[in-house]
Structure formats: C-alpha cells, structure tokens
C-alpha cells in the first residue's frame, strides 16, 4: 500500500522520506551541549590557550561523560550582536543526555586533582566574566 501511495503522491512521499531521514540522523547525534562564552586575558594567544582547552574537553570524553566538543571564534557582523556580552570564543562540550552532563558537572564540583589541574590551567588564561549555558536539542 505504501508503494502505491508513493506512486500516486510522490511529493508527499519525498517529504515523509526526508522527515524519516532527519529523525534517523538525530538519533545518532547528541542532544545536550554545555557552552561557555569567553575572551582570553591580555597577552594570551590562541596557540597558548587551545592546547589547554583541548586537554580539558578531551578529559570529559576520555572518562565517558561527553561525546565531543567544538571551539568557535566569534566573527562580528555589522549591526548585529550589540546586546550580547563581550566575548571572542565559544567552547561547547557535547553530551548524549542531561544525566551525563549533570554527572560531569558534579564531577567538576568535586575538584578532584586531575580535573582541577586541567580546569585551572585553562581558566587561568581566560578573562573574568566568562558565561555559561546549557542547551537541549528540541528538533
């Protein structure tokens, strides 16, 4: 019956297949991201900072909390972004679910030596005033 419907309603069928494809893609992607927006302290270069941020983020992947990360440099757009706080970078840790993100947050709060050393090494190069937010995928 579905094959007949696809022959008689090809546009509707293509739409249904596209929706199914997107749903399959989303099942393979993470649903939660923890992001920080920040600027580097005066005199600190990306080359100095990035290895420390990579080490910090990779630690969360290595111990099984996060599944990935990305680091973005802000590109100013004329006439836009005037209400945003000042920042140059956005770092994003990607989690498969809220439970693992919450577990990672609790892990950091415990200040165990390994994560604390990585956190301080990275954070010492960032201007005070960094801000953070959590996002969950809805579509």
**In terms of C-beta density within 10 A (0-12 exposed, 13-18 middle, 19 or more buried), how is residue 53 classed?**
buried
Q: What is the pLDDT of residue 23?
A: 44
Residues 13 and 44 in one domain: no
On average, the pLDDT of the chain sits at: 86
Structural domain for 84, as ranges = 31-136
| 3-state class (DSSP) for residue 22 | helix
Residues 77 and 97 in one domain: yes
Pairing type for strands 89-95 and 68-73 reads antiparallel
Prediction pTM value:
0.76
Residues 40 and 95 in one domain: yes
Instruction: Give alpha helix (H) positions in 9-136.
Output: 10-27, 46-62, 98-109, 113-123
Residues 71 and 38 in one domain: yes
Q: Which two tokens stand for residue 64?
A: 């099984």
Question: Mind listing the pLDDT tens digit for each residue in 17-46?
Answer: 444 444 444 455 568 999 999 999 999 999
Count of structural domains, the chain: 2
Residues 61 and 96 in one domain: yes
- Choose between 10 and 106: higher pLDDT: 106
Residues 55 and 121 in one domain: yes
């Amino acid at each position: 019956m579905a094959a007949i419907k696809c022959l008689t309603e090809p546009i509707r069928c293509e739409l249904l297949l596209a929706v199914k494809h997107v749903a399959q893609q989303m099942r393979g992607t993470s649903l939660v991201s923890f992001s920080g927006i920040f600027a580097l302290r005066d005199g600190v270069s990306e080359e100095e900072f990035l290895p420390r941020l990579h080490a910090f983020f990779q630690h969360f992947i290595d111990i099984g909390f996060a599944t990935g990360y990305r680091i973005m440099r802000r590109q100013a757009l004329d006439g836009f972004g005037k209400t945003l706080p000042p920042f140059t970078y956005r770092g994003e840790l990607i989690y498969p679910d809220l439970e693992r993100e919450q577990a990672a947050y609790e892990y950091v709060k415990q200040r165990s030596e390994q994560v604390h050393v990585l956190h301080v090494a990275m954070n010492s190069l960032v201007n005070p005033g960094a801000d953070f937010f959590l996002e969950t995928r809805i579509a």
